[in-house]
Amino acid sequence: MTHALDVVGVSKTFASGRTSKAVLDDVSFHVKEGEFVSLIGPSGSGKSTLFHLIGGLEKANAGEIRIGSRRIAPLERGLISYMPQHASLLPWLSVAGNIEMALEIAGIDRMEARQSARQWLARIGLERDADSYPHALSGGMQQRVSFLRALLSPQPLMCLDEPFGSLDALTRQHMQTWLLSLWEEDRRSVLFITHSIEEALLLSDRILVLSTAPAKVIREIMVPFPRPRGEQLWSDPVFNELKREIYSLLTPAESKGGHS
């Protein structure tokens, strides 16, 4: 079966002058069609670097990346839809204009894009902000528009790089349940970076835990909760067990007071 993404034996070392830093060491994993996979790992473990390799912004030293059935050439771009940590909306276009542009890039003609953008904005509760410019929106609203742009982009794989990292706790929680309900209606293949164990457990079908750099995948966790999911998960004992398990994988032995 063809996967949405295959990362096979990928290694990456950054060299600068005489020094070099190995960031990824023989990393392999895949994302199935329609699957939501999260990457969680210590700070500096190369999660964003992986996205840069998949998105063609950096070149791997070894290994292969396939999107769908296509092996991507080094530095080949445009094959994924990408949502960064900070909303990257076009400041000179209105909110509706930003969405229309994503639809037009996806091949929808201008008149239809105009109509469809308004309908989508209504679906995410932003119909009244259609004519505003991005700078006039709150951080959470900007991220909703940014997510919608990624969702409407034509590429089948969405790579979301800690999209809620800069939001306050309450807004973040709202955004998680919002994303979940939208994604559950229209299951795209997603690779999601997060630092939050709860967020990964709430959203994902599978979680890949990375080690410190040079990073390897040290654990794959199948998330067993049925969908649709909601805040009832917080009180599920299995949720708390998995949370503890991931936490202990991410916490180095010395900071737990043990010896390795």
Q: Which stretch binds ligand ATP (CB under 6 A): 46-54, 61-69, 126-134, 200-208?
A: 46-54
Nearer of residues 14 and 234 to ligand ATP, judged by Cβ:
14
Q: For ligand ATP, how many residues bind (rule: CB under 6 A)?
A: 12
Instruction: Work out whether 48 is an interface residue with ligand ATP (CB under 6 A).
Output: yes
For the chain, how big is the Rg over CA atoms in Å?
A: 19
Query: Given candidates 3, 4, 31, 46, which one binds ligand ATP under the rule CB under 6 A?
Result: 46
Q: 77 Cβ partners below 8 Å, 6+ apart?
A: 55, 56, 57
Residues 6+ positions from 208 with CB-CB distance below 8 Å = 29, 37, 38, 39, 40, 217, 219, 220, 221
Q: Which of these segments, 37-45, 62-70, 113-121, 242-250, binds ligand ATP (CB under 6 A)?
A: 37-45
Q: Looking at 45, 94, 176, 194, which residue binds ligand ATP (CB under 6 A)? A: 45
Own/partner long-range contacts of 73-79 (Cβ < 8 Å, ≥24 apart): 78/155, 79/55, 79/155, 79/157
User: Which long-range CB contacts under 8 A does 236-243 form with residues at least 24 apart?
Assistant: 239/201, 242/201, 243/197, 243/198, 243/201
Q: Which is nearer to ligand ATP, 22 or 79 (CB)?
A: 22
Q: What type of residue is 26?
A: D
Q: Which stretch binds ligand ATP (CB under 6 A): 45-53, 67-75, 94-102, 219-227?
A: 45-53
- Is 103 one of the binding residues for ligand ATP (CB under 6 A)? no
Q: Closer to ligand ATP at the Cβ: 41 or 140?
A: 41
Q: In angstroms, what is the minimal distance from the CB of 219 to ligand ATP?
A: 16
At its nearest, how many Å lie between ligand ATP and the CB of residue 71? 22
The amino acid occupying position 215 is A
9, 20, 44, 244: residue in contact with ligand ATP (rule CB under 6 A): 44
Between 90 and 218, CB nearer to ligand ATP: 218
Question: Which two tokens mark 254?
Answer: 């010395």
Q: Is 49 in the site for ligand ATP (CB under 6 A)?
A: yes
Output the six-digit token pair for 22. 């190995």
Q: Report which secondary-structure segment, H or E, holds 151.
A: helix 139-152
Backbone angles phi, psi at 26, to 5 degrees: 55, 55
Per-residue x/- mask for ligand ATP, residues 12 to 31, rule CB under 6 A? Answer: --x------x-x--------
Binding positions for ligand ATP, 198-227, rule CB under 6 A: 213
The answer to whether the Cα torsion of 194, 151, 95, 125 is positive or negative is negative
Q: Which two tokens stand for residue 5?
A: 């993404």
Residue with smaller CB distance to ligand ATP, 171 or 196: 196
How many Cβ atoms are within 10 Å of 132's Cβ, its own excluded?
Answer: 15
C-alpha span between 244 and 256 (Å, rounded): 13
Residue nearer to ligand ATP on the CB measure, 122 or 218: 218
Q: What residues line the site for ligand ATP (CB under 6 A)?
A: 14, 21, 23, 41, 43-49, 213
